[in-house]
Every structure is written in C-alpha cells, then in structure tokens.
C-alpha cells in the first residue's frame, strides 16, 4: 500500500519544479537543524530534467551548498568517463555548475567488491546511524520500467541477510556488474522522493496503489517509515 503524499503533475516542467522545491525545502530544514544535509540520488533518465533545472543560476545561489553532501544510490561498473556512468550524467548536467557541493562518487571502474567496500566506508564515516543503519536525510529516486529500484532488479534475493549498506551485484538481465545501496539503507531514509515518469512506470504505480505488488522490487520500499512523496508525470 502506498504511503505518503502523491503529487500529480501536468508535464515534465512541473514534475521537476515540484521535486526541486521539496529538495530545497528539505536541505534548508536540515541546515537549520544540524547545519548539514546528506542526499542520495539515483541514476537513469527520470531525474535528468531535475538536474537541468538545478543547473539554473537561481538554484546555484539560493542556498549555501557547501554544507550539502550528494551521494549516489547506484552506479554501473563502467569507466569513469563512460556515457552510461550515472555520476557523469549528473555532473555534466548539474554538479559542475555548483562546485561548492560535497560530492561522493562511487568508483565503479574499480573491482566491484573493492568499489562497494570503499563506498560503504565513506557512507559509514560521514552519516549518522538510525537503528544501526546509516540514515540519509533525503533520497531521490526513480524506478525502472520493470519496477526495479537502485540496482535491485527482479530476481534479486531480498530475503538474504544483509549486514552492509552497499553491495556489488551482477544483473543477469543486462549482463553488467553494478554497485548499489541495499534495501535497508533505502528504507532507512528520513525523507524520500520517488519520481514516476512514463506510461509503463505509471502502470506500475497504479498496481502499487491497488496493492497488486506482483514481484516489483519497488514494492519493497513500501515497508519503510520514511516520509515519502511520490511525484507523477
């Protein structure tokens, strides 16, 4: 069952504005509360228009980004300058225009196990724990057309015991190694924005509303106590 707020938008422009407004508001609340903010972003096409909006001069100067920390939910194991690299896409569109942001990149070009352990160490070093699990102030993510989240695809063993927050996975359907945050971390965030764009993804969202969970990995997010906002376009 879907929990949290649902925002339906008329087009991609409104979709992006809604997400950016929530992002800025959440960062300001965190700054007022503890002087810093830890955010995790997903790859894929859903957030590209959000990054494009954030590259605007107004948003570069609307707050002091030097206390914001940006992490990435997952990364493909490809060379650092490969066009499929999630970080490269985000950096080229937004982050290079906002140099004050503290960027935490997954080194997906390394051996996958090494990259996963290094990123986990970086997360554990900087984030506070809640219930023994690192807690992000905000996670912003999309979903795949098959219902996957992060790099947790259909066929992933959600029943296995997880005592780490980042792992390397081999995704058989696309024949590629990926580094991904694990479900306990995704479900431990204080706030989450889940963006849904396109007919296939909206059909999955309708199934979630109707409690037709099928074997969608995104359904595993519904057990979280995070403050969720679903933004639909």
What are 202's two structure tokens?
A: 């909206």
pLDDT score recorded for residue 21: 97
pLDDT in tens, 38-89: 999 998 899 999 999 999 999 989 999 999 999 999 999 999 999 999 999 9
What is the rounded distance in angstroms from the CA atom of residue 14 to the CA atom of residue 12?
5
177 CB-near residues (< 8 Å, 6+ apart): 76, 77, 112, 168, 169, 170, 171
What is the rounded distance in angstroms from the CA atom of residue 169 to the CA atom of residue 175?
10
pLDDT in tens, 31-44: 999 999 999 999 88
What are 203's two structure tokens?
A: 């059909």
Report yes or no: 80 and 47 within 8 Å, Cβ to Cβ: no
pLDDT score recorded for residue 161: 75
What is the domain class of 5-232 according to CATH?
alpha beta
Instruction: Map tokens 């098959």 to a residue.
Output: 146
Q: Considering Cα of 133, then 138, then 143, then 147, what sign does the dihedral take?
A: positive
What are 93's two structure tokens?
A: 């569109």
pTM: 0.96
What is the rounded distance in angstroms from the CA atom of residue 197 to the CA atom of residue 143?
9
pLDDT score recorded for residue 162: 80
Report the SS3 class of residue 56: coil
What is the rounded distance in angstroms from the CA atom of residue 115 to the CA atom of residue 138?
23
Domain spans of the chain, in order of start: 5-232
pLDDT score recorded for residue 171: 87
What is the rounded distance in angstroms from the CA atom of residue 71 to the CA atom of residue 105?
7
Q: Residue 177: in which H helix or E strand, if any?
A: strand 176-181
pLDDT score recorded for residue 102: 97
pLDDT tens for the chain, 233 residues long, are 788 999 999 999 999 999 999 999 999 999 999 999 999 999 889 999 999 999 999 998 999 999 999 999 999 999 999 999 999 999 999 999 999 999 999 999 999 999 999 999 999 999 999 999 999 999 999 999 999 999 999 889 888 878 899 999 998 878 899 999 999 999 999 999 999 999 999 999 999 999 888 889 999 999 999 999 999 99
């Amino acid at each position: 069952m879907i929990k949290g707020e649902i925002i339906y938008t008329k087009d991609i422009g409104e979709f992006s504005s809604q997400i950016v407004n929530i992002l800025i508001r959440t960062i300001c609340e965190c700054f007022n509360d503890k002087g810093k903010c830890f955010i995790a972003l997903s790859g894929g096409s859903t957030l590209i228009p959000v990054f494009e909006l954030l590259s605007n001069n107004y948003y570069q100067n609307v707050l002091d980004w030097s206390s914001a920390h940006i992490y990435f939910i997952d990364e493909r194991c490809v060379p650092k300058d490969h066009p499929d690299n999630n970080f490269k896409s985000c950096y080229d569109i937004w982050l290079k225009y906002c140099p004050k942001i503290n960027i935490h990149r997954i080194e997906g070009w390394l051996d996958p196990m090494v990259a996963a352990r290094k990123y986990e160490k970086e997360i554990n070093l900087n984030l506070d724990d809640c219930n023994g699990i690192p807690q992000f102030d905000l996670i912003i993510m999309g979903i795949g057309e098959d219902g996957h989240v992060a790099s947790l695809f259909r066929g992933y063993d959600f029943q296995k015991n997880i005592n780490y927050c980042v792992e390397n996975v081999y995704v058989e359907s696309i024949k590629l190694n990926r580094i991904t945050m694990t479900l306990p971390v995704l479900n431990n965030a204080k706030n989450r924005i889940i963006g849904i764009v396109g007919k296939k993804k909206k059909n999955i969202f309708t199934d979630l509303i109707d409690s037709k969970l099928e074997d969608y990995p995104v359904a595993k997010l519904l057990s979280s106590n995070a403050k969720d906002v679903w933004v639909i376009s």
